[in-house]
Amino acid sequence: MSGERVHRTRHSIEVAAPAGALYALLADGVRRPLYCPSVLHVERLDFDGTRERLRVWEDAGGHIRSSFSTREQYPHERRIAFRELRPEAPVESMGGEWTFEEAAGGGSVVTVRHAFTILGEHGDDADEVARVTSRGARAELESLRRIAESREGVDDLVLAFEESVWVNGPGELVYDFLYRAADWPGLLPHVRHLQLTEPSAGLQVLDYAVALPDGAERMTGAVRLCFPHAGRIVYKETAPATPVAAHTGEWSVLPDEHGVRVVAQHSVLLDDDAVRALPGSGVYAMGPVSRAPSRTVLARHCLRESIGRTSLATLALAKRHAESAVRSLPRRPPVMAAGAS
């Protein structure tokens, strides 16, 4: 990068947590959508233990973009260097690094630096690129701080599980039902109405209302990335309900010689502050002794039940859709052997 054309940003935050723990949190690039508000999905393409190549989908100031990048991890230095491989105009090049340093008074200082250049004919866009880059950096730093300083450990705040069904029918019909989310209102009881737009092939933006137990509605949304040849749809909720900080998931259609297995995977990050603000729990009887479970345990249990219930309803309807289509196909008459009467 030419020194005269390089634009730089630098953002830091103090965190009351060990530098090593913060480094480990960010080193797991595939889980970054849970920790970074603007990142929607990450696919790891290869990793040799130090250098990894990633494909990242993110919301860049209202514009959803996909990019390829490399990251080099230096755990002994607590440093992660990154570089975008094929930047999108007006950016010509983009790179930088994360550093995690122990603070003199305890805790850590996390810093992210960006250095970028702009294509010559887009020189006036440098300030806007800097603003978008800075906004994303500050949001990610604040999210890391909030997670690292939570009273619960990160493993307690993350809930990951899956549901699945086996379908005696073609995977194409199952995928078709999951893809056509605009048809879900009226079919799925928890989806009241839904608006779907496709800014580009394979990218879906959903705005929809879900039914609450008391009969009310809650507006929410999601961004979905569709991979029909792989039988996958991945998504991230854009307006999760309290006490959820982030919710990502994936629908997978896995054919075998007997039919298809359809899997709904979920990863949920709890908002520790929101969990602690929940009303007090009841009492669980555990053998001869009764004790009140923590709010985090209750929140995990309730979310597991509610999210699992809605995903199982969707899986059941996808199964019914595919299997009923197979049953409705006209039956062929048996082939008679030559000479038979």
The domain of 132 spans: 3-148
Is the model more confident about 96 or about 255? Answer: 96
137 and 242 together in one domain? no
With respect to residue 223, please indicate whether it lies within any of the assigned structural domains: yes
pLDDT recorded at residue 4: 58
Digit-coded pLDDT (tens) for 202-231: 999 999 999 887 778 999 999 999 999 999
Same domain membership, residue 318 and residue 212: yes
Kindly state whether residue 333 falls inside one of the protein's structural domains. Answer: no
pLDDT mean over 151-171: 90
Q: With pLDDT > 70 as the criterion, what percentage of the chain qualifies?
A: 90
Query: Are 209 and 137 found together in one domain?
Result: no
* 3-state DSSP of the chain: CCHHHCEEEEEEEEECCCHHHHHHHHHCHHHHHHHCCCEEEEEEEEECCCEEEEEEEEEECCEEEEEEEEEEEECCCCEEEEEECCCCCCEEEEEEEEEEEECCCCCEEEEEEEEEEECHHHHHHHHHHHHHHHHHHHHHHHHHHHHHCCCCCHHHHEEEEEEEEEECCCHHHHHHHHHCHHHCECCECCEEEEEEEEEECCEEEEEEEEECCCCCEEEEEEEEEEEHHHCEEEEEECCCCCCEEEEEEEEEEEEECCEEEEEEEEEEEECHHHHHCCCCCCCEEECCEEECCCHHHHHHHHHHHHHHHHHHHHHHHHHHHHHHHHHCCCCCCCCCCCCCC
67 and 213 in a common domain: no
165/313 same-domain check: yes
Domain assignment of residue 138, yes or no? yes
Q: Could you give the number of structural domains in the chain?
A: 2
- Structural domain includes residue 341: no
Residue 332 lies in a domain: no
Whether residue 313 is contained in a domain is answered as yes
The residue among 148, 182, 202 that closes a domain is 148
335 domain-assigned: no
Residues 79 and 143 in one domain: yes
* Whether residue 48 is found in the same domain as residue 120: yes
Q: In the structure, what pLDDT confidence band is assigned to residue 154 with cuts at 50, 70 and 90? A: confident
**72 falls within a domain:** yes
Summarize the confidence of residues 83-95 as an average pLDDT. Answer: 93
pLDDT of residue 169: 87
Choose the final residue of a domain: 113, 148, 183: 148
Co-location of 135 and 223 in the same domain:
no
Are both 315 and 280 inside the same structural domain? yes
The pLDDT value recorded for residue 327 is 58
Domain match, 162 and 254 both = yes
CATH of residue 214: 3.30.530.20
* Stretch 194-202: mean pLDDT: 94
Global pTM reads 0.86
Q: Are residues 213 and 85 located together in one domain of the fold? A: no
Same domain assignment for residues 198 and 313: yes
Higher-pLDDT residue of 292 and 252 is 252
* Final residue of a structural domain among 148, 179, 205: 148
Over pLDDT 90: what percentage of the chain? 70
pLDDT category, 326, cuts 50, 70, 90? Answer: low
